[in-house]
Amino acid sequence: MKRSVLYIMIFCVAVTAATYLQAQNNPSTTSMATYYRCVQGDAARADTIFSQHVVPFFNAEKTAGRITSFGWLKHWTGGEWRRVFYMSSNDPDKLLDSYLGLIKMAESPEHAKAMDEFDRICSSHDDYTWRTQTGSAAAGTAPPRSAFAMTTYYVCNAHEAEADYIVKNFMGPILNQRVKDHKIDAWIWNEHLMGGKYRRQLVVDGASPKALLQHWGSLQGELQKANADLSNRFTQICDSHSDYIWEVATQ
């Protein structure tokens, strides 16, 4: 976790914190995520470093109430990203405080050598900041994650707010029914605040890759059957995407 990257992430949170506070009358979760490209043969060493040096820090941050959740995800299938680190909070000021604490921890003599090794293994990355729009859990809560998650990262046009409406009012009830039927465990729809080209993110938790792939394989057909016009309109707005399945290694 390069310290220069941490300073950039701090800038991102500081610039947007006022917007979060002004716009949100109800609890809303903000997440900062870093998507790593790692040397595949050495990625297990990065897992160990994260477990030994970062997890204890963030467990203490959760206990202190500065963050609501964090996680370390391992690539199961998908594109070039091999690992994901995320941290979430309902209070952007506390999220910033937690990241400041991470900088201090990473630069301390006790941890600096290991964190430099981590940087050599996972030497490039993409940073995003997301805000939850809707999902199966109550707003502002952080239920335990399932063992696996399928994440679809969408590229959308200027009508992305319309896509949000379609997800909340059309796709959401269908996904909620799948949670009730135990086909999936949970889902979240996130909007982009800062980062790269992906403007929206659908995260679906499930017990296994098989369960997630069965869900994904049948979802489009169910959406078309329920309302082909809305299904097609969503695809017109968010017309390309990248799919990953992640193992939730730490939370």
CATH number of the domain bearing residue 32: 3.30.70.100
How many domains, the chain? 2
Cα–Cα distance measured from residue 121 to residue 74, given in angstroms and rounded to the nearest whole number: 14
pLDDT per residue over 149-191, tens digit each? 999 999 999 999 999 999 999 999 999 999 999 999 999 999 9
Unique residue bearing structure tokens 């897992």: 47
Cα–Cα distance measured from residue 239 to residue 199, given in angstroms and rounded to the nearest whole number: 11
Q: What distance lies between CA 222 and its chain's CA centroid?
A: 25
Same domain, 87 and 141: no
Same domain, 76 and 88: yes
Residues 49 and 249 sit within 8 Å (Cβ to Cβ): no
pLDDT of residue 40: 86
Instruction: Compute the 3-state secondary structure of the chain and give helix, strand, coil in percent, each to the nearest 5.
Output: 50, 30, 25
Q: DSSP letter at 40? A: G
Of the three residues 102, 130, 158, the one that is the final residue of a domain is 130
**Other CB atoms within 10 Å distance of the CB of residue 105:** 19
Same domain, 135 and 241: yes
Query: Does the pLDDT of residue 16 top 70, yes or no?
Result: no
Of the three residues 130, 160, 179, the one that is the final residue of a domain is 130
Q: Which domain holds residue 245?
A: 131-250
Cα–Cα distance measured from residue 52 to residue 136, given in angstroms and rounded to the nearest whole number: 32
Of the three residues 83, 111, 130, the one that is the final residue of a domain is 130
pLDDT of residue 26: 60
pLDDT per residue over 97-136, tens digit each? 998 899 899 999 999 999 999 999 999 999 999 999 999 9
Same domain, 75 and 147: no
Nearest to 187 by CA among 223, 236, 152, 233: 152
Residues 61 and 142 sit within 8 Å (Cβ to Cβ): no
Positive or negative, the CA dihedral 228, 78, 12, 186 is positive
